[in-house]
């Protein structure tokens, strides 16, 4: 393993120690440990000769602009906020790798300007709304968000001021036309690469998702005196439907569907359930496949309810279309994987990322690194040195190609 790979991993772990809670990693939007991460990264970037600034959304940006390079620049980055009790690599790995990509550009003396972005908020833990940082950079920040309050009743505007920034300057965070591409390096956060014994993948699409809640309404009654054929059991209906959800997803290529939450009324051991409210989360890379599956599942619910003498209704909570990555930039990533001597794996991302937001503004692509154990949003999150090395090899070919393109 290379020295660089162990340095990357050690840096991620060091940043993980900058936390709101002793002994575990929790770093929400614009909290004091985020200030500490800024200080750390700023020193790293300045040592590399980069010009560093912080925008009004609290994103930390560093520009490497070689004298012989055009002003058109490639953006590389990810987020530095975390979920509570997080691992060391979700988000941060993409920022630390971006530093190493700048090192590569310097070492290869490429006429390529790179802007590193450490996004301030992707997870949305503090204000209950994700992608605050990337929304600002993509020029899609809704100023109504500034009035939102965190758990301590601090508004986002006040949190921004307390961090030493001016929320009135939010519009200036938006990218100019010299930003010509965005690369996000991120852990896979799933088990696919590990199962296929692969280090890396190029991401083709961030899947779309539908979230809804479904309510089966029957009749609560005595568990001892009500004969089976005279019951209108809401939970039994929901259970039959949930079995069908799993079946449909298992038999449909690329579809994942999950019922993760259920509430039963009156929720007593000796009472037939009168009401069952269940969640549904459906994801697919193709919007038509996703909406087709949702339609089918709602029809199933209707059929089950009618047959059992129940009522059913649903409420859609989220309808997020799939976001394809830029084809050309993604082909640069897959070509680079091939040039680095590895099998080319192209896959979809089942999780949302800053790349999803940036894609609305600038050609965007992602490079995934294997997640050992498929583990993420967990302190056991890890990255293998050999995979970091593989990503650095890919970086050489990718950066060369982008430099040739921009010249
Ligand atoms: Zn992430």
**Interatomic CA distance for residues 201 and 337, integer angstroms:** 8
* CATH 3.30.70.360 holds for 208-320: yes
Question: Quick one: tokens of 265?
Answer: 């009324």
CA of 170 to the centre of ligand 1 (A): 23
Structural domain spans, the chain: 3-206+322-406, 208-320
**How many angstroms separate the alpha carbon of residue 123 from the centre of ligand 1?**
7
CA of 78 to the centre of ligand 1 (A): 7
Q: Is 96 left (phi over 0), alpha (psi -120 to 50) or beta?
A: alpha
Spatial neighbors of 260 by CB under 8 A, at least 6 apart, are: 279, 281
298: left (phi over 0), alpha (psi -120 to 50) or beta: alpha
Name the stretches of the chain with pLDDT < 70.
1
How far is 92 from 4, CA to CA, in rounded Å?
A: 16
**d(Cα 54, Cα 71) in Å, to the nearest integer?**
20
In angstroms, the CA 234 to CA 362 distance is: 48
Question: For 394-405, what is each residue's pLDDT tens digit?
Answer: 999 999 999 999
Instruction: Express each pLDDT in 10-54 by its tens digit.
Output: 999 999 999 999 999 999 999 999 999 999 999 999 999 999 999
Per-residue confidence (pLDDT) for residue 2, from 0 to 100: 86
> Distance from the CA of 80 to the center of ligand 1, in angstroms?
8
Q: How far apart are alpha carbons 54 and 118 in whole angstroms?
A: 10
Q: What is the pLDDT of residue 89?
A: 98
Return the pLDDT at 145.
96
The H or E element spanning position 13 is: helix 3-16
**Spatial separation of the C-alpha atoms in residues 235 and 216, rounded to whole Å:** 8
Total residue count of the chain as it appears in this document: 407
**111 C-alpha to center of ligand 1: Å?**
30
3-class DSSP string for 189-250: CCCHHHHCCCCEEEEEEECEEEEEEEEEECCCEECCCCCHHHCCCHHHHHHHHHHHHHHHHH
The predicted structure's pLDDT at residue 226: 97
CA–centroid distance, residue 187 to ligand 1 (Å):
8
CATH fold of 3-206+322-406, please? Aminopeptidase (3.40.630)
Residue whose token pair is 């692509």: 365
pTM of the predicted model as reported, rounded to 2 decimal places: 0.92
Give pLDDT, residue 1: 64
Lookup: tokens for 401: 């190609």
Give the distance (Å) from ligand 1 centre to CA of residue 81. Answer: 9
């Amino acid at each position: 393993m290379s020295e660089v790979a162990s340095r990357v991993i050690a840096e991620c772990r060091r940043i993980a120690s900058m936390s709101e809670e002793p002994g575990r990693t929790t770093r929400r939007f614009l909290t004091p440990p985020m200030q500490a991460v800024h200080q750390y990264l700023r020193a790293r970037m300045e040592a590399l000769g980069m010009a560093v600034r912080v925008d009004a959304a609290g994103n930390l940006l560093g520009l490497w602009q070689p004298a012989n390079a055009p002003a058109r620049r490639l953006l590389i980055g990810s987020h530095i906020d975390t979920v509570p009790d997080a691992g060391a690599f979700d988000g941060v790995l993409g920022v630390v790798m971006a530093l190493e990509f700048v090192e590569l550009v310097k070492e290869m003396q490429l006429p390529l300007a790179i802007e590193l972005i450490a996004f301030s908020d992707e997870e949305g833990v503090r204000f209950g709304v994700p992608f605050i940082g990337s929304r600002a950079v993509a020029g899609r920040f809704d100023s109504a968000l500034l009035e939102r309050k965190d758990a301590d009743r601090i508004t986002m505007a006040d949190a921004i001021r307390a961090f030493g920034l001016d929320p009135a300057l939010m519009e200036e965070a938006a990218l100019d036309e010299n930003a010509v591409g965005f690369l996000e390096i991120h852990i896979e956060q799933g088990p696919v690469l590990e199962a296929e014994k692969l280090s890396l993948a190029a991401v083709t699409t961030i899947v779309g998702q539908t979230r809804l809640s479904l309510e089966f309404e029957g009749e609560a009654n005595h568990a001892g005196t009500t004969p089976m054929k005279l019951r209108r059991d809401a939970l039994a209906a929901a259970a039959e439907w949930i079995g069908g959800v799993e079946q449909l997803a298992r038999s449909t290529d690329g579809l994942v569907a999950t019922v993760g939450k259920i509430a039963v009324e009156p929720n007593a051991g000796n009472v037939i359930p009168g009401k069952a409210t269940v969640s549904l989360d459906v994801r697919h890379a193709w919007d038509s496949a996703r909406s087709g599956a949702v339609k089918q599942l709602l029809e199933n619910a209707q059929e089950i309810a009618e047959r059992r003498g129940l009522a059913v209704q649903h409420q859609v909570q989220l309808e997020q279309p799939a976001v394809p990555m830029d084809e050309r930039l993604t082909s640069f990533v897959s070509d680079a994987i091939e040039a680095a001597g590895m099998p080319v794996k192209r896959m979809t991302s089942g999780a949302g990322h800053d790349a999803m937001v940036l894609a609305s503004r600038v050609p965007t692509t992602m490079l995934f690194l294997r997640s050992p154990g498929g583990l993420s949003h967990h302190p056991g999150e890890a990255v293998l040195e050999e995979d970091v090395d593989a990503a650095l090899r890919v970086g050489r070919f990718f950066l060369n190609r982008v430099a040739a393109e921009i010249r």
